[in-house]
Chains A and B, each alone.
Chain A
């Protein structure tokens, strides 16, 4: 049986294919990734894209969106906390002023104190965070409350953010819901009425003419104060929902990262072993090629 006299060509092509294998293994080891081109593992490449996309969404939320929102909600909360303490002062001052034992000067002083409180409340209502008014509804570039006319220039839009899971969390409360309820006069309206009444009483010397009016306004103000506290709770709820969403997104991101790593990362131990095996294969083939030489019968005939 004749054999292929050019068998060394087959050896040579086997040698070059071991070189190609070594090339590929080295590339995987140096990049650390099992999949360096689409054909290495097409399905893994596709899954990788999808995982990274979801991961990026979670990362965006935890690192950018949520910090912006948490900052805003915290500032809103502290503004409302100050409003509550101002209103408490207003209530105690008004109640004391209405007990019938105050002089004209006292009543004038009470009126001025209430003016100070109202101004402070308006300035709190016009709180801004990073250049945007937080109690203006959707018109965040406009001052919500005119300091002289006390008219509301914002709107009723509630803003929100969407978490990666699709949860919608309200992030603001329009000013009117806190400071000026239409029917009962709200915080600002009631304060203004109290101021007017105490000024009248100061001129008259006593609260007798306006006493009942003041009393009902004190009741309204108490109700308004409770309203502010309730809205503050709403904002606090939003804040804790955002924080929970951040925790959930972070833990999802960790799991996704782990899945992506398992999918794509090269198994260095296995690759090193394969590389070593292929290298010895290459050495063996080279030695065979060298050893075979090109001897034929001619070398032995005299």
Chain B
């Protein structure tokens, strides 16, 4: 303070005690402000390892000056509040990217389990009866038709007939196992749905409560509450795709990406689960909000739940459909060819009966009562030594027969139909993998950006600590000097102890 100016303007008769009091108050105010700032620094340091915490800075403001007789006297500074350093736009982008990345991740890991069902054959070795040692569907189908090729050379040979029956049995069992594995995969995914819905409900409830608290806090510092709310929203985005709409009083309305309202102000809507009865969700868990079935909306919305639902309701049913079509195609073609030939029953003059039954991969089986004598190898009535029908059966693997017998497979041979299917499945998985890697990298980058803005840097805080510490020391030094001055003025100019 420039005391020379002061003396020029004020009545020299006035006592200087008011001035010292004022300085005293300013020093006290400085001490309090520094303490508050130190508090903020300490808070930052203690939260340094929390990944959802946004660092806070104290807001310093000069106090309103005192006006006495038209002259402004400063009244020091104070910490008026704390600001959390966060970029809400960046954080929304992170939430969206989190939804995308976790959706891809969930879909990728579920699809990977599905593709493991279809093993890649590697060996070309054969067992003693001539069948492949590999258990994938392509090898097993090939084996079945090849046993007819051997049968053609000696149609009455009982060993060859037995080989046909056992290859047929392996074929139907392989189909059955694939169908069972696919159903199991689907059920495994289905079992996870209700626990995710429970998590979603608890998150939306927490967000609603925080909304309430933030609103009630009014103008007080809500940084910590907002951090908690942001953390909950991030967890929610991990599970499903959400949209955030800011409302008055720092409130947030959360809806699904298709618009169904989950949180509005202080109230959260609860999702319920049920059992589907038709379509893609038949006998699978469905998710409803009130009376609306949200299952297909959530499937398309991303997030872990979205990824799981996509595989459960779209990817796996598509695979099941393809395998069922293949099974049905084989059943139909095999039965047609067997019926055209003559079997070994009686005098060899009866046409063959249906060899395979079933409506798809799950129930394809050898017809009950069909034994090796029912195999219609002969193409000539009464000639059990003829193998021309066995030759026809063996040739079902050839492209030339596809148009006649496999119109349901798009006139492709069973092996070609199957290999087109695995290319499709493999490509889908590969593509989801690529997408996931890109999204994951992008998410990392966004996180780094957010962290560089909002995360606590111990170096920064250490520096701030030093600054406020020195500032506190300075203010307390002023305080002690003023104390000495005040003591002197009380003792009327003499410096003695009070």
Contact = CB atoms under 8 A, between A and B. Distances in A.
Q: Do A and B bind?
A: yes
Interface of A: 1-7, 10, 13, 31-33, 35-43, 45-50, 52-53, 55-57, 59-61, 63-66, 68-69, 72, 130-133, 136-141, 155, 157, 159-162, 166, 168, 171-172, 257, 260, 264, 296-298, 301
A49 B437 CA distance: 29
B146 A56 contact: yes
Contacts of A133: 385
Contact of B124 (A52, A139, A171, A301): A52
Contacts of A66: 153
A59 B126 contact: yes
A131 B384 CA distance: 13
Contact of A137 (B48, B132, B385, B451): B385
Most buried by A among B426, B444, B455: B426
A4 B426 contact: no
Contacts of B426: 37-42, 45-46
Contacts of A160: 387-388, 391
Contacts of B394: 162
Contact of B391 (A57, A132, A141, A162): A162
> Across chains A and B, which 9 residue pairs bring their CB atoms closest together, nearest first?
A138-B383, A42-B426, A140-B385, A38-B426, A296-B458, A297-B462, A46-B419, A39-B429, A49-B138
A297 B149 contact: no
Nearest to B418: A49
A162 B456 CA distance: 79
Given A50-B415, A138-B380, A45 B423 contact: yes
Contacts of B157: 68, 130, 132
A162 B395 contact: yes
Contact of B384 (A60, A69, A138, A171): A138
B125 to A, nearest CB: 10
A160 B386 CA distance: 8
Nearest to A172: B385
Nearest to A294: B458
B51 interface: yes
B433 A6 contact: no
Contacts of A7: 448
A60 B146 contact: yes
B472 to A, nearest CB: 16
B263 to A, nearest CB: 29
Interface string B375-410: 000101011111110010011011010000000000
B120 interface: yes
Given A52-B139, A61-B149, A157-B380, A6 B451 contact: yes
Given A45-B426, A56-B143, A138-B386, A2 B138 contact: no
A32 B120 CA distance: 13
Interface string B404-428: 0000000000011011101111110
Contacts of B118: 38
Contact of B451 (A4, A52, A68, A132): A4
Contact of B386 (A41, A159, A264): A159
B383 A50 contact: no
Contacts of B126: 56, 59, 63
A2 B466 contact: no
B422 A65 contact: no
Interface in B113-160: 115-116, 118, 120-122, 124, 126, 130, 132, 134, 136, 138-139, 141-143, 146, 149-150, 152-157
Given A49-B121, A157-B380, A171-B153, 9 more contacts: A35-B120, A38-B115, A38-B426, A38-B429, A39-B427, A42-B422, A43-B423, A296-B462, A297-B462
Contacts of A55: 124
A38 B452 contact: no
13 contacts: A6-B455, A10-B444, A33-B120, A39-B430, A40-B426, A56-B124, A56-B139, A65-B150, A68-B153, A132-B154, A141-B385, A159-B387, A160-B391
Interface in B428-457: 429-430, 433, 444, 447-449, 451-453, 455-457
Contacts, number: 212
A59 B122 CA distance: 16
A132 B384 CA distance: 10
A168 to B, nearest CB: 8
B139 A50 contact: no
Interface in B237-284: none
Nearest to B420: A46
The CB with the most chain A CB atoms within 10 A, among B121, B447, B455, is that of B121
Contact of A46 (B149, B422, B429, B451): B422
B459 interface: yes
B120 A297 contact: no
Contacts of A157: 380, 383, 385-386
Contact of A57 (B388, B397, B425): B397
Given A6-B51, A39-B430, A52-B121, A45 B382 contact: no
Contacts of B17: none
B35 to A, nearest CB: 20
A5 B124 CA distance: 55
Contacts of A298: 458, 462
B404 to A, nearest CB: 15
Contacts of B420: 46
Contacts of B48: 5
Contacts of A4: 447-449, 451-452, 455
B376 to A, nearest CB: 13
Given A138-B380, A159-B387, A64 B150 contact: yes
B130 A60 contact: yes
B112 interface: yes
A43 B425 CA distance: 10
A238 B491 CA distance: 139
Contacts of A47: 419
A7 B400 CA distance: 62
Nearest to B421: A46
Query: Counting chain B CB atoms within 10 Å of each CB, which of A3, A136, A138 scores highest?
Result: A138
A249 to B, nearest CB: 11
Contacts of A3: 452
B463 interface: yes
A13 B126 CA distance: 45
B425 A42 contact: yes
A136 B388 CA distance: 16
Interface in B75-133: 112, 115-116, 118, 120-122, 124, 126, 130, 132
Contacts of A68: 150, 153-154, 157
Contacts of B116: 37
A42 B136 CA distance: 15
A56 B459 CA distance: 69
A37 B146 contact: no
Q: Which of B139, B157, B452 has the most CB of A within 10 A?
A: B452
A5 B455 contact: yes
A155 B382 contact: yes
B452 A2 contact: yes
